[in-house]
Structure 1
């Protein structure tokens, strides 16, 4: 069956190069169909005729189209309390540690790097919400490269299907139904703990302070070894001494990485 548009080898290589230079994501030949299907939507939307025209358009209109290009390519798949052992470790081990070690400042900072549509930072917030006494300053920074998913995350609105994994008491406590009774919306008390911001992890970070822990799950899976190592080093620089980093279930650090000790189950602690 012939395809609607032709994607030549040189056009695919050009797309691969653009994506890698912009955000470090490595697209192998096995991603060709995904690239085709996602960018074909942009071609139709812009009423263009082929990939050649689209790449020319992208070059001439980078200011307004490049974010659409990156949004189309990046993958966003997430759920509430994904990889539950991370949240159990956060609740049972890290929160008591933070309560003790940060009692002078009463300040906790957590970063959800690659937050997608928001399920991860909201899960972190639900885990922490009732565990710190009144007067503590607990904030979560949630960033992603994709402006579309950030908009959804910031809205805090989810379909009933998206919330099926949540226990009824959690759902009742932290969400309310919309007027049609079809969607759930995060309550303001939870939402105020989180600040959503667009960020390219491979560009200069604007944050000035340090973080107690960082979630960067199912993000570095797309990066090559050199990009991963650079990112891990940057995370080490912005974490407090002995701070913690969480990766996704299929991700790991190389043996050459000297800044972190593995705690098992894709959980790492900064050495110094």
Structure 2
């Protein structure tokens, strides 16, 4: 029977079967496990797609989805949550700054992957950290930033943010790394070109069989994304990520994540920071 909606006036019938159909498709396509408390979020997000496509029901949308491959990306984009900020969990960037100098004594370039980059705050924070730590706008580093959501990647490539999003930055960082908008762009700032050029943005579904990433990474940021996967999927992804790290490489996780169930793969070396269980 239909779930209870928070207010009258919703134009689409929405049943528990509809929610379960969405949950099954999202898990199959992106590995994301929706919890029961996401039922209203699913209605709110996907009803916009029904209106946009001029469809009359969720059943029609499911049929449309199976007949139009390009809609799968819109489906995933609608249901993924992109909560991020500059220098979120600052201790990770402090650790990366210390780590960078040590690693570059052994090899160059330093290679870092931001695997759930959202609108770009995380990879640009990585870039700022390495520019500051290594004292150059042309440091020997390669930063790959990826996300499943093509919409947020477009925002990330532009590197334009409301000024309030820069509140975590120091005045010196704002001056060095951002250009303040004027006229029509008043109230916004753009990441300087030198910093944008350090980051390669790419669309990657973590469930894809081939990520197209060569091994030999020094650090992987995979923060606040594992919480959307069940434990077997987490274990498979951790195994693949650890396989891409150089000996001694770092895996940074989110504050609400722990990998006790995968102790054969990773070991904690600090606050939400991991290395391969048998890493040198």
Normalised by the shorter chain, which TM-score bucket? over 0.9
1:189 to 194, 218, 232: 194
Name the structure 1 match of 2:170. 167
The answer to whether the 8 Å contact 2:130/2:139 transfers is no
Task: Report the Cα offset of residue 136 of structure 1.
Answer: 5.0
The separation in 2 between residues aligned to 1:256 and 1:198, in whole angstroms, is 27
The answer to whether the 8 Å contact 2:215/2:246 transfers is no
Farther off after superposition, 194-203 or 10-19: 10-19
Change (3 A) 1:32 1:49: same
Task: Report the Cα offset of residue 254 of structure 1.
Answer: 2.1
Q: Which runs of structure 2 are paired with 1:204-243 in the superposition (5 Å)?
A: 204-243=210-249
Task: Report the Cα offset of residue 131 of structure 1.
Answer: 2.8
Give deviations 1:201-246, integer Å, cap 9, x for gaps: 1112111232000000011010000000000000111000111000
Name the structure 1 match of 2:63. 56
Give unpaired runs (5+ residues) of structure 1: none
Instruction: Give the structure-2-normalised TM-score.
Output: 0.91
Task: Report the Cα offset of residue 60 of structure 1.
Answer: 1.4
Farther off after superposition, 229-238 or 247-256: 247-256
What is the aligned-residue RMSD (CA, Å)?
1.5
Name the structure 2 match of 1:202. 207
Instruction: Give the structure-1-normalised TM-score.
Output: 0.94
1:157 and 2:160 correspond = yes
The separation in 2 between residues aligned to 1:182 and 1:232, in whole angstroms, is 40
Name the structure 2 match of 1:124. 126
The separation in 2 between residues aligned to 1:57 and 1:10, in whole angstroms, is 17
Q: Spell out structure 1 runs of 4+ moving beyond 3 A.
A: 133-136
The separation in 2 between residues aligned to 1:182 and 1:86, in whole angstroms, is 29
For 1:242, what is the secondary structure of its paired residue?
strand
